[in-house]
A = this chain, B = another copy of it.
Amino acid sequence: MPNSFIPVMEVTRGTLVESVHFGAAAVVDPAGRLIASLGDPGLVTYLRSSAKPFQALHFLELGGAQHFHWSDAEVALMCASHSGTDLHYQTVSSMQAKTGLQEADLQCGTHPPFHKPTALALAARGEAPTPNRHNCSGKHTGMLAQCVLRGLSKQNYLDFNHPVQQANLQTIAEMCDVPAEQIGLDIDGCSAPVHALPLYNAALGYARLSDPAGLPAERAEACRLITRAMRAHPEMVAGPDRLDTHLMRAAQGKLFSKMGAEGYQAVGVLPQAIPGRPALGITIKIADGDSDGRARNVVTLEILRQLGLTVPAVEGLEAFWDWKVRNWRKMEVGELRPCFQLQFH
């Protein structure tokens, strides 16, 4: 597994390379052609939260959003690792109210909001974070809404054998062209199932989300709803100062983007967003898990650049294109520097 990775980003200080991140990536079109790669595109790893659009799909193709009158912003929050701001809290509460769910139904656990000012404000009020502040509360609400829609038990909705999880697994299998029994299952940070599959296959799934023309009509419609909702409501998918939100804003509809834990990143590029190119699915894994996100940010933007999609540095994305290393007095002492060339096939 270590041999699957190649150096993808260097951190310099003065004239010396001080640190290096390793990674792997796959770029695939909806027909399953491997367009480009870094390291081993067959690397099997967990999608983590990058699976959320797939996990929303079955509920939506059953007509769940119309049934419960969920807005596009609420659909985007189903696919989110949100920052737990008041906006996110209110939106997930609204989804629950429309569906007859309670916050206490969520079995995701709790953590302080990713958004630091919100976390500080809660702490200042002496208020413990509740499940709706959890970055996965939209996904869990979607799973529970599928229970309600299908008349299934809510108590055990996270069990691998629960019909909701079985349906979501089957959807991932179909979208990514991997037999369900070959998908590695384990438990995520939020206690929901996680799915392990090759980078190539996950990228294929993102390509099909981006251009579902070849899929059955209900599924294609649900894919279009997801990508429309995420692109129209990037503030719901992540939050302030986070790559997914700022990248989608800056790309002005050309792509949708969803991070996962442990250095995973997926992007779906729409047809003709890169002139002459079909839709593309891109999946990236930073080997070390990239806990502060610096390698994910740089490698994602550089892969898009090498593919020919120049994303202007607007609306907050400047920070993600500014690859200087600064010290505590704001002196520039080094830089983050991609050190790969995509291998085109």
Pairwise interchain contact A46-B18, C-beta atoms closer than 8 A: yes
B-chain residues with CB within 8 Å of residue A20 when the two chains form the complex: 1-2, 5, 22, 287-288
CB of A304, distance to nearest CB on chain B (Å): 22
Q: How far is the CA of A1 from the CA of B1 in the complex (A)?
A: 20
Whether A7 is near chain B, meaning CB under 8 Å from some CB there, is yes
Closest chain B residue, CB of each to CB of A329:
B109
Pairwise interchain contact A187-B331, C-beta atoms closer than 8 A: yes
Closest chain B residue, CB of each to CB of A339:
B2
Question: Would you list which residues of chain A between 104 and 157 have a CB under 8 Å from chain B?
Answer: 107-111, 120, 123-124, 134
Pairwise interchain contact A16-B288, C-beta atoms closer than 8 A: no
Pairwise interchain contact B288-A331, C-beta atoms closer than 8 A: no
Pairwise interchain contact A187-B333, C-beta atoms closer than 8 A: yes
CB of A124, distance to nearest CB on chain B (Å): 7
Number of copies of this kind of chain in the complex: 2
B-chain residues with CB within 8 Å of residue A22 when the two chains form the complex: 2, 20, 22, 287-288
B-chain residues with CB within 8 Å of residue A19 when the two chains form the complex: 262-263, 287-289
Pairwise interchain contact A331-B191, C-beta atoms closer than 8 A: yes
Question: Would you list which residues of chain A between 312 and 329 have a CB under 8 Å from chain B?
Answer: 327-329
Residues of A within 8 A of B (CB): 1-2, 5-7, 10-11, 13-22, 44-46, 107-111, 120, 123-124, 134, 184-191, 194, 196, 262-263, 287-292, 294-295, 327-331, 333-334
14 contacts between A and B (CB under 8 A): A1-B10, A2-B7, A2-B20, A11-B262, A15-B186, A19-B263, A19-B289, A22-B288, A108-B329, A111-B328, A187-B327, A190-B328, A191-B328, A291-B294
